[in-house]
Amino acid sequence: MRGNIRTRCFVTIAVLVVSLGILDFPGLIGSAAAQAPRLDPLKFTFLFRPTGSFTSFIVSQDRGFFREQGLDVTFIVPGSPTDALKLVASGEAQMGLAHSTDTILSRSRGVPVVSVATNHQFGMAGVLAPVENNIRTPKDLEGKTVGITGIPANRVMFEEFLKIQKVDTTKVRTIVVGFGGLPALLEGRTQAMGDAITFSEPIGLNLARGKDPNNHSTYSYMAFYKYGLPRYYTFGIITSENFLASSPKLVQQFLRGWEKGLEWSLKNPEEAVDMFLKRYPSVKRPQALGAWKAILEISTSDETKAHGLGWQDIKVWEKQAQFMLEHKLIKSPVDVSKAMTNEYLTNR
């Protein structure tokens, strides 16, 4: 009896000693600590409030692809789209998303940001019109009212689109509607949108009419790059020259984790979006899934088949920078070889 009591007392004391950390047993506490990998923190800023278009980043995080690369990634949602690039440039975020137009504009102003991968292989801006408005060619815009956001680069692209396609601009009424282009279209105040985004307004138009979000038969869409304007990249993954110089390995690790997440999301769109919605439940599933399926159409290209996901063609950057210079969107030439690099991609 006394032996049993002593045994029980010893076990109880041993448990207390271990739980309180009085002794460090190598086979218990020490081994667990040794097995816990050290993760490097990295802050990544989105461009705006998360939508289904950001699905691949959430998947990279929640399926552990970033952790596999030794990273503890924190996502930042900026107050406005203009803040994202500032956060990266200042070092408050080590990496983030930025439009290629803004990357070129920043470089022209001496802000040393660098695009290390592109999230989309093709520009997403173009002219959107409901099918019943009978706008199937650029010339069909004559006699119509077109709403545009008023964003300088978008306005220039739309005006150049009309010019290249020999549309009589005196017969096209253009009004600035800001980001209320879809309501204006649905209410009949405009017959087309002059700078609609493929993963946004076409999806919203279909959902507002009770249609499948990715039903292409309900509207016509003329992407600018298919009508004579330079092909360009939309959202890219950026960092600063300082961070590239000080932490090149972390940039490479991030891109490897993201590439895995993007590849998985392309193959499993439904599951990927469900994963996104667990983190951001306020987003409607039809909207998120519709946006992600639209992204699937522009995430790959002949270049990615040859070089891997995220690849950027320097010639695409050169043509875009030249276009911006010729149309006074930037005041001085930009050396795009310093504005972008593929050096940190897995299959460079």
3-state helix/strand/coil string of 267-295: HCHHHHHHHHHHHCCCCCHHHHHHHHHHH
* Whether the Cβ atoms of residue 60 and residue 91 lie closer than 8 Å to each other: no
State the pLDDT confidence band at 179, using cuts at 50, 70 and 90.
confident
Token reading at 159: 């005006």
Kindly tell me if the per-residue pLDDT of 15 is higher than 50.
no
Kindly tell me if the per-residue pLDDT of 22 is higher than 80.
no
- CB neighbours of residue 299 within 10 Å: 21
Name 113's Cβ contacts closer than 8 Å, sequence gap at least 6: 85, 88, 89, 98, 103, 106, 107, 238, 239, 240, 241, 339
Quick one: average pLDDT of 120-136?
Answer: 94
State CA 133 to chain mean position distance.
Answer: 31
| Cα–Cα–Cα angle for 52, 57, 60, rounded to 5 degrees | 130
- Mean pLDDT for all residues in the chain: 89
Name 212's Cβ contacts closer than 8 Å, sequence gap at least 6: 206
pLDDT of residue 188: 94
* Residue 23 exposed, middle or buried by CB count within 10 Å (0-12, 13-18, 19+): exposed
How far is it, in rounded angstroms, from Cα 220 to Cα 129?
5
State the pLDDT confidence band at 261, using cuts at 50, 70 and 90.
very high
Token reading at 262: 């993007």
In the block, tokens 């076990």 appear at 11
Percent helix, strand and coil across the chain, each rounded to 5? 50, 15, 35
* Whether the Cβ atoms of residue 76 and residue 44 lie closer than 8 Å to each other: yes
Kindly tell me if the per-residue pLDDT of 260 is higher than 50.
yes
* Whether the Cβ atoms of residue 217 and residue 136 lie closer than 8 Å to each other: no
Report pLDDT digits (tens) over 292-309: 999 998 999 999 999 999
pLDDT of residue 35: 60
pLDDT of residue 234: 87
Name 185's Cβ contacts closer than 8 Å, sequence gap at least 6: 128, 130, 147, 191, 192, 193, 201, 205
Domains of the chain: residue spans and CATH: 40-122+232-339 (3.40.190.10), 125-226 (3.40.190.10)
Kindly tell me if the per-residue pLDDT of 18 is higher than 60.
no
**Phi and psi of 197, rounded to 5°?**
-105, 130
